Amino acid sequence: MIMNKSRKQYLRIKKPKKKNTKIGEGIIVVSDGKVHGGDIGLTCRG
């Protein structure tokens, strides 16, 4: 996972505090309350 490159997007996508998982758009992955942004689609656990 590249969190360094997604640091800016991470702060920008930290708006929704809901469990949203988007695949292909680039994007929002919430696991255990943590938001990970990136071009890789992951499944949200919890």
pLDDT at 5: 56
Domain hosting 31: range is 1-46
pLDDT at 40: 47
pLDDT at 11: 57
E strands, the chain, where? 29-31, 34-36
How confident is the model over 1-46, as pLDDT tens digits? Answer: 555 555 555 555 555 555 555 554 554 555 555 555 554 445 545 4
How far is 46 from 30, CA to CA, in rounded Å? 9
pLDDT at 39: 44
pLDDT at 8: 58
How many folded domains does the chain comprise? 1
CA nearest to 12, candidates 36, 39, 43, 44: 36
- Burial-class residue 24 by CB neighbours within 10 Å (0-12, 13-18, 19+): exposed
pLDDT at 4: 58
